[in-house]
Amino acid sequence: MNLTELRAACSTCTGCGLSQTRTKLVFGVGPENAEVLFVGEGPGQQEDLTGEPFVGAAGQLLDEMLCIIDLGRDNCYIANIVKCRPPQNRDPLETEQDACFPWLQQQMEILQPKLIVCLGRIAAKRLIKDDFRITREHGQWFDYHGIPIMATYHPSALLRDVSKRPEAFRDLKILQKKVQEICSHTL
């Protein structure tokens, strides 16, 4: 199965209540040979309208962050823990994450990323460890089934609290160094 086929299968998912209120499925975006996978928590209003992750203000900031380390949407893959927008942009419930997580796992199987970056605590708690503390553990490398994984602040958190931007910049430089070490065609 490739990403196009997986997206088609995912578009018919009714595994949780979020499927009842979505405008568009927000599956993910990027090339199938991407070596770096970014994972956020879930789509917001703009993403729900367009069907593409990180297209609102947080997405613009993510694009700037990627540019800082010579990455872009054309050479990484961007997805979320849940594929449908939670009402009022609330955190996705555990049951919603459980229902949607197999889709992300299948995306990872197809992509075979060399690095994974969690954008925010929700993704980090799901992929790194249940008790992950974003304020203490961002920028540190962990292991996800043999794949180096780290977390940094979610771009929307950086929009709300600009004082965290220097920490996020340091995380990006840590990521850039790891990309240069192990990725063959990203930089």
The tens digit of pLDDT for each residue in 136-168 reads: 999 999 999 999 999 999 999 999 999 999 999
* Model confidence band, residue 186 (pLDDT cutoffs 50, 70, 90): low
User: Is 17 within the bounds of a domain?
Assistant: no
What total of structural domains would you count in the chain? 1
Mean pLDDT score across all residues of the chain: 95
CA 153 to chain centre: 11
3, pLDDT greater than 90 = yes
Cα distance between residue 140 and residue 179, in whole Å: 14
Q: Which of 131, 138, 125 is nearest to 173 (CA)?
A: 138
User: Is 97 within the bounds of a domain?
Assistant: yes
Q: What is the CATH number of the domain that holds 67?
A: 3.40.470.10
User: Is 184 within the bounds of a domain?
Assistant: no
- Structure confidence by residue, pLDDT tens digits, 91-132: 999 999 999 999 999 999 999 999 999 999 999 999 999 999
- Structure confidence by residue, pLDDT tens digits, 28-64: 999 999 999 999 999 999 999 999 999 999 999 999 9
User: Is 18 within the bounds of a domain?
Assistant: no
pTM score, two decimals? Answer: 0.96
Residue range of the domain that includes 65: 3-10+28-179
Estimate the crossing angle of helix 94-111 against helix 3-10, to 10 degrees. 160
User: Is 41 within the bounds of a domain?
Assistant: yes
User: Is 75 within the bounds of a domain?
Assistant: yes
Q: Which distant-in-sequence residues (6+ apart) come within 8 Å of 34 by Cβ? A: 75, 76, 77, 111, 113, 186
